[in-house]
Amino acid sequence: MTGSVRTRFAPSPTGELHIGGLRTALFQWAFVQANGGKLILRIEDTDQSRYVEGSIENIIEGLRWLGIEWDEGPDVGGPHGPYIQSERLAKYQTVAGELRARDRAYRCFCSSERLSQLRKDQQKDGLSPGYDGRCRAIPPIQAEERALTEPSVLRFRMDRTGVTNFHDLIRGDVTFQNSLQDDFVIIKTDGFPTYHLAMLVDDHDMEITHVIRAEEWLASGPKHLQLYDAMGWSPPHFAHLPLLVDAQGRKLSKRFGDVSALDYRDRGYLPEAMLNFLTFLGWSLDDKTTHITGDELKQAFTLDRVVPNPAFFDVERLDALNGHYIRSLNPEPWSKNVAEWLSRDLPTDVPRPLDSALVSALAPLLQERITRLDEVATLSRFMFGDRPDYPMDLLVERIDGDSELAALTLDEALSALGDIEPLDWGLGSVEAAIRGLQDRLDLKLRKFVSVLYVAIMGAPRGIPLFDSIALLGREEALIRLQGARSKLP
């Protein structure tokens, strides 16, 4: 399969690009890359009431953050434009007129109140909600006369006999009973097409060969295939991707994990980690590969390796992957990341530009401890600006509330570190002094250092302690230890 493959990513500009949509776009991109095809970006804005300013820019930014590029679209142009549906209204009206001429579409005058009551009655009777065909038999001439004074929509006349079959490239053969389908709206009262009509017309005009989309659209298969048949057009191949679910098996949503793609970026996830994570949500290369690059994915992706079962969106797995990619970064790009995130997240009262030598020294310490870039400033804050403030209880939290032991630890640390000559101060001398102190007090290292972590950083954990004390310098380290000691009896 080479050369002729064309698929599209067609989001609606009703808000931010969410992670589920990003997974769909990634699979589409990988598919066309693996098959020498083209990816088209199309904006489906026919529901003008839900349009959100800035959505298109957010979608484009989110796609490019992950490294997804397209061959045709509203920003890059192409031979099949325009690529924004609201700029293609005349085409939809033409096709709607053809459907009416073929008696496959009719005007419906039912009010929203009647349709709402119809749904309630159907639900009360245990029936599936759907249009009851009340306006199906209105003669076309009479319908046109009424349309001059009454609001109406245009509905597609479904063939409700027999079945609709098609082969899904992920799920295999799929069958729907046509008797369970209802006549659906294709042109709304405002003259705009619904998704079903606009999508089909655009896919035909843009020569789309493969429609790769979310599972939620599987049930619309009969509608779309009957529309294709009514127009005498050949349908594309369909592939419906598996749902993304959370740990409780719930479909991802704004409420349950499906947040904006750029929110993940802004929380410090690397695009390489997100690409790797999303790739394996429903697809696998083999039974052993757990990491893959974009270049490798472009070579390896096939739809027959996508499974139809729901894919678990495991945030812990994402965090672990992100930590892996953070630790794999070379020193120079990693130090650049640290500098950028410190400048972004440190309080505004911390003087800029930051001390480049200090940033460079902190970078390797942070690289081994964090899983997201938004932790950079949190774990480094103690090195910049004011000394940390914390309650006395935090000093004794991990030593069972033993304030006497905490006081002894701090006294001994002050003595041991104070004995280091200024010219001898460094990582080696600091580590030797503290380890010797641990031996004298006969304490487990975890409990012992928790007191020192709080004294130095204001938190019971953080970046490596010995390095941090050495970086602070002798004078500042002793001041902080003394400040902690003064909080205790």
- What amino acid positions are annotated as catalytic residues? 254
Contact 241, 27 (CB under 8 A): yes
Name 259's Cβ contacts closer than 8 Å, sequence gap at least 6. Answer: 18, 19
Let me know if 46 is exposed, middle or buried by CB neighbors in 10 A (0-12, 13-18, 19+): buried
φ/ψ bin of 208: left (φ > 0), alpha (ψ from -120 to 50), beta (otherwise): beta
**Is the previous residue joined to 82 through a cis bond, with omega within 30 degrees of 0?**
yes
DSSP-based three-state secondary structure for 163: strand
Q: What's the DSSP call for residue 72?
A: B
Q: Encode 170-201: b = buried (16+ Cβ within 10 Å), e = exposed.
A: bbeebebeeeebebbbbbbeeebbbbbbbbbb
d(CA 441, CA 438): 5
In the numeric block, the tokens 């929380």 are attached to: 267
Amino acid at 200: L
* 364 preceded by a cis bond (ω within 30 of 0): no
**Distance of alpha carbon 383 from alpha carbon 142, whole angstroms:** 80
The answer to whether residues 411 and 440 touch, using CB atoms and an 8 Å cutoff, is: no
- Vertex 145: Cα angle to 143 and 146 (nearest 5): 65
74 closest CA partner among 159, 127, 9 = 9
CA 166-167-170 angle, to 5 degrees, is: 135
Could you count the other beta carbons within 10 Å of the beta carbon of residue 480? 21
Asked if residues 257 and 267 have their Cβ atoms less than 8 Å apart, the reply is no
**For residues 55 and 265, what is the distance between their CA atoms, to the nearest angstrom?**
17
- Give the residue ranges of DSSP H helices in 55-111: 55-65, 89-101
DSSP-based three-state secondary structure for 253: coil
Q: How far apart are the first and last CA of the chain?
A: 77
CA pair distance 321, 338, nearest whole angstrom = 18
